[in-house]
Amino acid sequence: MSDNTAAIEEGAKKSGILWLALDRPRLAWHAWHDGAIYLVTGGEEQQLPGLDALDRVRVTLRSKDNGARLVEFEAAVSAVDQAAAPDVVAVLAKERLNARDSEHLPERWARESTIWRLTPQH
């Protein structure tokens, strides 16, 4: 594992939020799983305008303690087939705070949201 990969993994695991360079810097909650960052958009979840049109996005991870920039990197963007990735859905559901319907998140996401995989590029 390269130093940059280790920094990305550590930063993504320690903080549940990140910044994406979209139309402007956008804050997003996420989960780290299996070497990638996953996030949910659409429906009642976070709105990240323009993410669906990108092949790559610039990601910034900041320190949970003091907000300092830990690492910036390019990530490949791809939509996740939720039916084929129950492990990813479970990890995201566990990380989703303050959901009004936490026991029904997977069903709601399948109906109205998109799960994205952001794979760090080296």
Tell me the pTM: 0.93
Boundaries of every domain in the chain: 3-120
Q: What angle do CA 67, 70, 75 make, to 5 degrees?
A: 115
Q: How far apart are CA 15 and CA 71, in angstroms?
A: 12
3-state class of 43 per DSSP?
coil
Instruction: Given CATH 1.10.230.10, say whether it is the number of domain 3-120.
Output: no
3-state class of 113 per DSSP?
coil
- pLDDT tens for the chain, 122 residues: list them: 567 888 899 999 988 899 999 999 999 999 999 999 999 999 999 999 999 999 999 999 987 777 778 899 999 999 999 999 999 999 999 999 888 888 899 999 999 999 999 999 97
Q: In terms of C-beta density within 10 A (0-12 exposed, 13-18 middle, 19 or more buried), how is residue 97 classed?
A: exposed
